[in-house]
Amino acid sequence: AQSVTQLGSHVSVSEGALVLLRCNYSSSVPPYLFWYVQYPNQGLQLLLKYTSAATLVKGINGFEAEFKKSETSFHLTKPSAHMSDAAEYFCAVRRAGNQFYFGTGTSLTVIP
Amino acid sequence: DSGVTQTPKHLITATGQRVTLRCSPRSGDLSVYWYQQSLDQGLQFLIQYYNGEERAKGNILERFSAQQFPDLHSELNLSSLELGDSALYFCASRGESHGANVLTFGAGSRLTVL
In this structure, are residues A66 and A59 in contact, taking their beta carbons and an 8 Å threshold?
no
What is the pLDDT, as a whole number, of residue A53?
Answer: 74
How far is residue A39 CA from its own chain's centroid? Answer: 14
Q: Which of A42, A98, A106 to mutate to test the interface with B (most CBs of B within 10 A)?
A: A98
Q: Taking every pair of C-alpha atoms in chain A, what is the biggest distance, in angstroms? A: 44
Within 10 angstroms of residue A110's Cβ, the number of other Cβ atoms is 19
Mean pLDDT of B44-72: 95
Per-residue pLDDT reduced to its tens digit, B75-98: 999 999 999 999 999 999 998 765
Question: pLDDT tens across B3-23, in order?
Answer: 999 999 999 999 999 999 999
By the 8 A CB rule, do B103 and B33 touch? yes
pLDDT digits (tens, 9 = 90+) for B24-54: 999 989 999 999 998 777 889 999 999 999 9
Q: What is the pLDDT of residue A26?
A: 86
Count of other CB atoms within 10 angstroms of residue A85: 20
CA B4, CA B24: separation in Å to the nearest integer?
A: 6
Residue A74 C-alpha, separation from nearest chain B C-alpha, in angstroms: 17
Dihedral (CA of A58, A103, B40, A8) sign: negative
Decide if A95 touches B, using CB distance below 8 A: no
A39 vs B: CB within 8 A: no
> Which residues of chain A make contact with B24, given a CB cutoff of 8 A?
none
Burial class (CB in 10 A: 0-12, 13-18, 19+), B62: exposed
Judge: A44–B94 Cβ closer than 8 Å, yes or no. Answer: no
pLDDT reported for residue A3: 86
Tell me, yes or no, if B89 comes closer than 8 A to chain A by beta carbon: no
Amino acid at B99: G
Asked if B21 has any chain A CB less than 8 Å from its own CB, the reply is no
- What end-to-end distance do the CA atoms of chain B give, in Å? 30
